[in-house]
Amino acid sequence: MKVNKQIGNFVTRNVRVALMLAMLFPALTFAQNGKLVLSFENTFGAEPLAFDKEYTNAHGENLRFTLLNYFISNIKLTRTDGSVYAVPQDSCYFLVRHSVPETHKIELTVPEGKYSSLTFLIGVDSLRSTQGPEKRQGVLDVGAGARGMYWQWNSGYIFFKMEGKSKSLPDSTRNGFYYHIGGYGGFDSKTLNCIRYRTLTFEKLKVSEKKTAQVNVTFDASKFFSAQTPIKVTEKRSIMGGPVSVKIADNYKDIFSLSGVIYSRMKK
């Protein structure tokens, strides 16, 4: 009986402590989440990118795009107090396909709070790239979601893929240009590393359970040809590796930009 009484007293004390902590630190015990949407818009200058339209790049070359895909992963948000929230990695791989509008929006559930910046990887990190098929499902499934975005001959993901036609190219090339960029630094030997992170800063991004916050990110394809390293299709119409691919990765990293943040009330 004495032992039972001691156990009862112990349980009672711990329940009281738990209740006191819940009253003192409600945010810790009842943390709220909100919805954050990352919306990617592909453009050519000020115009929405369209596959049935012809454009002219900074070098005066004719362009018509036929394909544009890129992986977005390893998303992190930095709070205004400097702390960082990382989206759980197992659910943090997305493939934006220009031809599939529903892939342009990435919906995330993140803790409520005020955030000052967003960081994401353009591509697939080395750890996930080298894990077994059971860890590479969904958009990373090379036979399904990642179809066309994986080099079987090179055992690696294509992080960024742009293709199109150009009247500036001779007919002998079928007027085609191709930029397939990948490479995570190598598994058992050093290779090219085209992994690139992009950080976008906000004046203030507020996530709450009452409103959905949408961060609009623009990828301006016109700048792809005129960023750090100018790219002319008439000089480099096909890049699928080599040192130039590293420079192209630097180019496309820099042309993702923040175009705005909007809020909408959560539907009940």
Inform me whether the pLDDT recorded for 120 exceeds 80: yes
Q: Tell me, what's the pLDDT at 93?
A: 98
Q: Tell me, what's the pLDDT at 53?
A: 97
Domain ranges in the chain are: 1-30, 31-265
Confidence of residue 152 (pLDDT cuts 50, 70, 90): confident
Confidence of residue 3 (pLDDT cuts 50, 70, 90): very low
Q: Tell me, what's the pLDDT at 204?
A: 85
Q: What is the tens place of the pLDDT at every residue in 228-246?
A: 899 999 999 999 988 999 9
Q: What is the tens place of the pLDDT at every residue in 183-219?
A: 987 766 677 899 999 999 998 899 999 999 999 999 9
Name beta bridge partners: 158.
182
Q: How many angstroms separate the CA atoms of 14 and 241, rounded?
A: 61
CB 214 within 8 A of CB 136: no
Q: What is the tens place of the pLDDT at every residue in 239-265?
A: 998 899 999 999 999 999 999 999 998
Confidence of residue 7 (pLDDT cuts 50, 70, 90): very low
Q: How many angstroms separate the CA atoms of 94 and 71, rounded?
A: 6
Which position has the higher pLDDT, 80 or 26?
80
Q: How many angstroms separate the CA atoms of 129 and 121, rounded?
A: 13
Q: Tell me, what's the pLDDT at 28?
A: 44
Which position has the higher pLDDT, 16 or 262?
262
Return the half-sphere exposure (C-beta side, CA atoms, 13 A cut-off) of residue 25: 5
Inform me whether the pLDDT recorded for 102 exceeds 70: yes
Q: Tell me, what's the pLDDT at 16?
A: 61
User: Which pTM value belongs to this model?
Assistant: 0.86
Q: Tell me, what's the pLDDT at 108?
A: 97
Name beta bridge partners: 264.
212
Work out the mean pLDDT of the chain and round it to a whole number: 89
